[in-house]
């Protein structure tokens, strides 16, 4: 028998305020048409003043717990992927822990920017497979609206706020690719590229900073590295792109999503796309897309899913999940 981390619940939360592309036309030299054609984004949600990353994460977590028929006390690990935690410390995860009424588990944040959910999922999977945890909440939650330079049209139109969450549970499988659960993960980083996507502030520099990006460079790395990591994960379980029911990619840009799907050899009708409605929500984008995919009856139990993401660092990774 093989211990597997099986998804038993999923949920998401988006802040109430929806901002269409047209709103940026008032303050920037940009158009709805430019944003849509270059990124695929039509609208995004922004958190209200005072609404924090852990607020979003806790709401997504409660929905995921409800869908699993559980309460906050029923999990023993809470992992939050975020680059926009409420405070420098404690972690957003401990704030989520308190908000969902969990007192017995352990909680920590993972920071790998837009690849954060892949890293958090791999960590939670390892905790479950090793026996350290039996049930884990894995959450991606972000308020990237707090680190935008509102005068930089090449970045501020691309990002949004939101959160998504999965509940994982230890279950016994037979050790084959037919098992439900996380079947493989692949993680990578290369700090030589830290200057193509970063925030120019932080605790050590006494500032918060704003996001800076060399879009074209990031784009180039994304298409190459995302397909590569997806192939690596699939190969670990002896599967190919033909076996995949759904690709659930990081939602940064529809052109990256399409190019990666093409490289993988997967038609777009097998790709979950939410970038038009959410923009780039960094570490929240994959769990958000998984939750929307289930809500829309695209993803069903037993489906084979590939997720892949890349972000600042650069950091990138993927996971194979039998839903
Ligand atoms: N409105 C109008 N014009 C704009 C805008 C805008 N919002 N933004 C940039 N432009 C202009 C540029 O100034 C440039 O003008 P110029 O030719 O006079 O200099 C022109 O449009 C073309 O700009 P490019 O950067 O060449 O446009 P490109 O087609 O590469 O699209 C984009 C830009 C959307 C940023 C693209 O490069 C991209 O998506 N890159 C990847 C970004 C990404 O995915 N980041 C996230 C991954 S990691 C993470 O999630 C944190």
Q: 175-227 pLDDT, tens per residue?
A: 999 999 999 999 999 999 999 999 999 999 989 999 999 999 999 999 999 99
Question: Are 160 and 199 in the same domain?
Answer: no
Here the tokens at position 98 are 């308190």
Question: Are 37 and 128 in the same domain?
Answer: yes
Q: Is the CB of 154 under 6 A from ligand 1?
A: yes
Please report, for the domain that includes residue 138, its CATH number: 3.40.47.10
Question: Are 187 and 144 in the same domain?
Answer: no
Pocket test for ligand 1, best of 41, 219, 285, 289 (most atoms within 8 A of CB): 219
Q: Is the CB of 140 under 6 A from ligand 1?
A: no
What interhelical angle do 32-39 and 254-264 show, nearest 10?
20
Question: Are 210 and 91 in the same domain?
Answer: no
Alpha-carbon span 111 to 212, nearest angstrom:
17
Question: Are 230 and 157 in the same domain?
Answer: no
Question: Are 254 and 122 in the same domain?
Answer: no
Shortest-distance Cα residue to atom 40 of ligand 1: 215
Alpha-carbon span 200 to 302, nearest angstrom:
43
- Is 45 considered catalytic here? no
Q: Is the CB of 311 under 6 A from ligand 1?
A: yes
Here the tokens at position 216 are 């074209």
Distance 159 CA to ligand 1 centre (A): 12
Question: Are 213 and 282 in the same domain?
Answer: yes
What average pLDDT values come out for the chain (323 residues) when binned by 10 residues?
97 98 97 98 98 98 98 98 98 98 97 98 98 98 98 98 98 97 98 97 93 96 96 97 97 97 96 98 98 98 98 97 98
Count H helices and E strands in the chain, helices first: 9, 13
- Is 278 considered catalytic here? no
Among the candidates 117, 146, 173, a domain finishes at: 173
Q: Which pLDDT belongs to residue 120? A: 98
Question: Are 156 and 189 in the same domain?
Answer: no
Check 12, 102, 114, 123 and give the catalytic one: 114
311 CA: nearest ligand 1 atom: 48
Question: Are 197 and 151 in the same domain?
Answer: no
- Is 114 considered catalytic here? yes
How many domains does one find in the chain?
2
Write down the pTM of the prediction: 0.96
| Residue for token pair 């949600």 | 45
Q: Is the CB of 263 under 6 A from ligand 1?
A: no
Q: Is the four-CA dihedral 169, 171, 174, 175 of positive or negative sign?
A: positive
Q: Is the CB of 75 under 6 A from ligand 1?
A: no
What interhelical angle do 53-67 and 92-99 show, nearest 10?
50
Among the candidates 146, 173, 200, a domain finishes at: 173
Question: Are 113 and 216 in the same domain?
Answer: no
Q: Which pLDDT belongs to residue 254? A: 98
**What's the CA dihedral at 66, 68, 72, 74 to 10 degrees?**
150
Shortest-distance Cα residue to atom 3 of ligand 1: 30
Q: Is the four-CA dihedral 140, 143, 148, 154 of positive or negative sign?
A: positive
Residue 53's alpha-carbon distances to 12, 21, 164, in angstroms, are 13, 23, 11
| Residue for token pair 């054609």 | 37
Alpha-carbon span 212 to 312, nearest angstrom:
10
Q: Which pLDDT belongs to residue 300? A: 97
The model's pLDDT over 261-287, given as tens digits with 9 standing for 90+, comes to 999 999 999 999 999 999 999 999 999
Here the tokens at position 65 are 């717990």
Among the candidates 173, 199, 216, a domain finishes at: 173
Question: Are 110 and 197 in the same domain?
Answer: no
Question: Are 157 and 197 in the same domain?
Answer: no
Which ranges constitute the DSSP H helices of the chain?
A: 22-25, 32-39, 53-67, 92-99, 116-129, 215-236, 254-264, 275-278, 285-295
Q: Which pLDDT belongs to residue 271? A: 98
Range of the domain at 272: 181-322
Alpha-carbon span 231 to 219, nearest angstrom:
19
Here the tokens at position 258 are 């399409």
């Amino acid at each position: 028998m093989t211990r597997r981390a099986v998804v038993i619940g999923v949920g998401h939360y988006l802040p109430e305020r929806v901002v269409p592309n047209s709103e940026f036309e008032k303050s920037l030299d940009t158009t709805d048409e430019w944003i849509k054609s270059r990124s695929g984004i039509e609208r995004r949600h922004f958190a209200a003043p005072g609404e924090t990353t852990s607020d979003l994460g806790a709401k997504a977590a409660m929905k995921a717990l409800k869908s699993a028929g559980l309460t906050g006390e029923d999990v023993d690990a809470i992992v939050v992927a975020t680059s926009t935690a409420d405070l420098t410390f404690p972690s957003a995860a401990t704030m989520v822990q308190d908000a969902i009424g969990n007192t017995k588990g352990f909680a920590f944040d993972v920071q790998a920017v837009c690849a954060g959910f892949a890293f958090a999922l791999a960590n939670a999977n390892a905790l479950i497979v090793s026996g350290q945890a039996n049930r884990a909440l894995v959450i991606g939650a972000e308020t990237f609206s707090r680190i935008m330079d509102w005068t930089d049209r090449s970045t501020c139109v691309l990002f949004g706020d939101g959160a998504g969450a999965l509940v994982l549970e230890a279950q016994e499988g037979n050790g084959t690719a037919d098992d439900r659960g996380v079947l493989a993960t692949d993680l990578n980083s290369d700090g030589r590229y830290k200057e193509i996507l970063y925030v120019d502030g932080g605790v050590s520099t006494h500032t918060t900073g704003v996001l800076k990006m060399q879009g074209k460079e990031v784009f180039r790395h994304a298409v190459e590295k995302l397909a590569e990591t997806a192939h690596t994960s699939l190969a670990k379980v002896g599967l190919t792109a033909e076996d995949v029911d759904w690709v659930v990619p990081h939602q940064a840009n529809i052109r990256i999503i399409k190019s990666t799907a093409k490289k993988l050899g997967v038609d777009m009708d097998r790709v979950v796309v939410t970038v038009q409605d959410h923009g780039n929500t960094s570490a929240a984008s994959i769990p958000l897309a998984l939750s929307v995919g289930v809500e829309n009856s695209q993803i069903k139990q037993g489906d084979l899913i590939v997720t892949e993401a890349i972000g600042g660092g650069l950091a990138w990774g993927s996971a194979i999940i039998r839903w």
